[in-house]
Chain A
């Protein structure tokens, strides 16, 4: 059972309070009428199913009712970071690969670092939880 850091409540809570809401960072076409049926179908129905780093939207359903994002490793179930809606992940499949190559470990002492704001996030730098 996951232990999830809610970036709004600012603390870890049990998974029972949360609910997954599928892939994060989906972009709804701004002008739906101008996109093809195929592109609309892709937006509606097609989702990534990666082995490894995945960004997911969750909702703190039985808590603050806020939606937020989680970067999770689908092979280890490790949650690498959680970050509020509207922000970008600091850990992606690409940065994870670079970290791995450079031998940089993710912060220990827990499972989650809170996603840094985009403007002050730099590669290979952790924000301690």
Chain B
């Protein structure tokens, strides 16, 4: 197939490089420099999609990100699939494979097409909601087929082979858009000495100058662009980012730019011969000043059948003609309300094609471009507009009629013009998206017929974005904005920059025209599309206003106006204008448009960057991690830590189950000796003359008399009296303490201490330092622990010399160590702290000596069982931010008579915290010893009660105890301490109900004798 619509010359394409691509299974040729859209038009592909709701055939309408129809699924392989790519923004490359996003089963003959033919009265706004509402349970079923019929892009089922990067950037002036305003702004700011980043979303910089008819300083616009970009590229302080879309503007001039690095070359970086390079890059730019030079989008007019392929936005036709050497038809009718669009008729004629007529809604247009068109023999029909397009798969004619825009009626006889292309121009909408991302409302300017951006601190506007359209004014505006931005960032202009000279023209004023009146009412006329991507018609908007939707925000949500990949870039203003007309209000009275990031869709890969796979989340390892791995540990995530969960052994060639391994580990500790890597516990070194006073204020219990060499268990509350963390703190010296926290609480407790010290008690001399990673902690515990320890330490382990809750300094396995006689198992225990880099040596020495005692490594699961058997809580598991020390039965650890009003004290005397029926910590013993209650199971007193039952509490910890040969649990239960011996019930979701007896929280060794053997 040849490129029938390709002009014999012209355009910025490289005709010597032919590229082959596939669209909907058919191969086509194109040229280097084409976009997918220009190549499709060159090959005469009229229908590129089916519409979302009515399944009508659709062609290419625009040439940029505003394109609503040419949305394709890209990728030759499953892994390279990219959904919802605008063909107008995709550079053509050899081997490109694209499919229509909509149009199941195919675009040419669509099973859904009857929908479009039957007309809008069958599918008004809200059709799906109204029709498929009942029964509600069926919606999920309907939705599947509706979505398949409508077609949305699909994500790849295989993982992305490419890599993506994030890059932090800083500059004084970020210029967004490299059209005439952006280029002069960047040049001016750079010449003043500012560090400048200039980004532009197109393949080439230059914007509208790339398809301009104008001459700058006597040379062609494209030559001026080339010269200017070359000058910028030669400046060290300038970073040029082509193919880079500014997608989000965030607080304090933080802008996210999405740079496409290999997407214009091939499906993947590897396919482009650039394996290992990033496919795209997200620049996180913090700019002192931002110059927004994003230009404008031309608005199409709304008329009947304006969606039939061959209806295009006027300016896009000029782009295809002048930039790509493509004439997307033979005979053109242009319908416009402004002078600028006349250039499309001139371009078309110069390309050797026929201009049937220019239809101008204004009564007496007489600007220079209008004169030029008339002089070249083009027929200009004034006071009229194209009311309706004829044709189904392609435009075959235009029905033109005189109109009265104020009364919104047709006033003359309809003239039928034969043509295959209708270009329409309803004026220009500034691309204000980024200026409204932080919530600034744009302002409607009736004199400019568009929304202009509201004032944004740190942002300057240049050119089309603030409705400055004439080229000479745009170039001057860019120079001004660039100078102002540089000056605000502290760079004075050395000398005034000369603005390139261009021909000035007289222009007649644009008239306000959005929807062209039809001889029939909007509801009876053929469909007049407002939002092509979402199939929203003028009749739909009108119906929405009649059904009571008065705010444009509500109209939007009811009709879907402005949703989808184009986010209303073409349709929003027309939709608002129609709503305003129907409601007899002005456009700003109907509402303003608000845009949110991102400006165009961004692939997840670019957002994620390198934060995927093993870099998704950091992992922390203890100094003994490798030993655990080598000894077959199963790991559990605790915060970011990887902790050994249990150590399954091979028994008769089979690996132990978790249940068996935990039972073996528990019995080893209760009957022999076990060892736990407890290095992850938070450790905070606290020093200073006021350290002791500080501890007394932050903990609920007393610290005044804790002597060096002693250890105490402490509870930490928030000022609402609820437990937040617990742990032991050891007195290392008169002014020196070592606090331990829960593994998960290490960072937050340190910050908590800092908070109170820095904000409430800065007069206290005390200093905090995290030493969690500095020391490894090994717990040697069990009846044989003393014998084992005696073999490796010089510390006197005599039970009278080294009492429970003492700590001693000495050596273990020849290295300096602190040994603490604290116990989280209820057994005799020694907690050894050594410098982390000695840990493996000490650990191995313990095992060398421990073999004869069958020293058993155990993990967190066994630790949990053992501590729960002793009724020892885990803050955050047995407590949840609503539990006081009193609720836990720990009034022994609350110093009500301490002199300073410590954190949490006042709240503990509130009536609510003193209630007798608060949930209190109790033990539960299932009546059936084989039952292990579910953690989280609700407790009720009356098993026969009808739902909703009165819930009295819930299970917080529950395990099987190998030593008790029974399941057991800790729970919080209303008034629990007065219910000892009572039977409670735990109804389960499967309909069964467990029975349990309320018992003391200490299940094993209630006299606490074993830790003192």
Contacts and interface: CB of A to CB of B under 8 A. Distances in A.
Interface of A: 1-3, 14, 21, 28-29, 31-33, 35, 37, 40-41, 43-45, 57, 59, 61, 65-67, 76-79, 85-86, 108-111
B871 to A, nearest CB: 30
Interface string B433-475: 0000010000000000000000001100000000000000000
B905 A32 contact: yes
Q: Rank and list the top 4 A-B pairs by shortest CB-CB distance, nearest first.
A: A32-B906, A3-B252, A32-B901, A1-B254
Interface of B: 250-254, 286, 288, 438, 457-458, 488-490, 719-720, 751, 754-755, 758-760, 762, 901, 905-907, 909-911
28 contacts: A1-B252, A2-B252, A3-B253, A3-B254, A3-B286, A32-B905, A32-B906, A33-B905, A33-B906, A33-B909, A35-B906, A40-B906, A65-B754, A66-B758, A67-B754, A67-B758, A77-B251, A77-B252, A79-B252, A85-B758, A85-B762, A108-B488, A109-B488, A109-B489, A109-B490, A110-B288, A111-B457, A111-B458
A44 B907 contact: yes
Contacts of A86: 762
B906 A77 contact: no
B762 A1 contact: no
A21 B759 CA distance: 12
Contacts of A33: 901, 905-906, 909
Given A3-B286, A59-B755, A77-B438, A111 B252 contact: yes
A110 B286 CA distance: 12
Given A28-B760, A61-B751, A109-B488, A2 B251 contact: yes
Given A1-B252, A44-B719, A109-B488, A59 B751 contact: yes
A129 to B, nearest CB: 12
A118 to B, nearest CB: 16
B901 A31 contact: yes
Contacts of A77: 251-252, 438
Contact of A40 (B250, B488, B489, B907): B907
B719 A28 contact: yes
B768 to A, nearest CB: 9
B486 to A, nearest CB: 12
Given A1-B250, A33-B905, 17 more contacts: A1-B254, A2-B252, A3-B253, A3-B254, A14-B286, A33-B906, A40-B907, A44-B719, A44-B720, A45-B720, A59-B751, A59-B755, A67-B755, A67-B758, A67-B759, A86-B762, A111-B252
Given A32-B906, A44-B719, A109-B490, A85 B252 contact: no
Contacts, number: 66
Contacts of A79: 252
Nearest to B487: A109
Contacts of B286: 3, 14
A126 B457 CA distance: 18
A62 to B, nearest CB: 10
Nearest to A65: B754
Nearest to B903: A28
A40 B911 CA distance: 12
Nearest to B761: A28
Contacts of A65: 751, 754
A21 B253 CA distance: 24
B355 to A, nearest CB: 50
A37 B318 CA distance: 75
A100 B561 CA distance: 39
Nearest to A109: B488
A78 B754 contact: no
Nearest to A68: B758
Contact of B457 (A37, A66, A76, A85): A76
A79 B760 CA distance: 24
A43 B755 CA distance: 16
A10 B754 CA distance: 20
Contacts of A40: 906-907, 910
Contacts of B489: 109
B1005 to A, nearest CB: 39
A78 B901 contact: no
Contacts of B759: 57, 67, 85
B762 A37 contact: no
Nearest to A106: B457
Nearest to B456: A76
Nearest to A76: B457
Interface centre among A32, A33, A37 (most CB of B within 10 A): A32
A41 B907 CA distance: 9
A111 B459 CA distance: 13
B949 to A, nearest CB: 31
A49 B1 CA distance: 67
Nearest to A66: B758
A110 B254 CA distance: 13
A1 B253 CA distance: 9
Contacts of B719: 28, 43-44
A1 B251 contact: yes
A59 B759 CA distance: 11
Nearest to B909: A33
A67 B720 CA distance: 21
Given A28-B719, A28-B760, A108-B488, A37 B755 contact: no
A8 to B, nearest CB: 10
A35 B719 CA distance: 14
Contacts of A61: 751
B617 to A, nearest CB: 15
Nearest to A19: B751
A123 B965 CA distance: 75
Nearest to A41: B910
A45 B722 CA distance: 14
A35 B906 CA distance: 9
A35 B907 CA distance: 11
B459 to A, nearest CB: 13
A85 B457 CA distance: 28
Nearest to B912: A37
A32 B254 CA distance: 44
Contacts of A2: 251-252
A76 B251 CA distance: 9
A111 to B, nearest CB: 6
Nearest to A37: B910
Nearest to B250: A1
B607 to A, nearest CB: 14
B998 to A, nearest CB: 31
A31 B899 CA distance: 11
Nearest to A75: B439
Nearest to B490: A109
Contacts of A31: 901
Nearest to A32: B906
Interface centre among A44, A61, A79 (most CB of B within 10 A): A44
A9 B191 CA distance: 33
Nearest to B289: A109
Contacts of B905: 32-33
Contacts of B288: 110
Contacts of B720: 44-45
A37 B901 contact: no
Contacts of B488: 108-109
B724 to A, nearest CB: 14
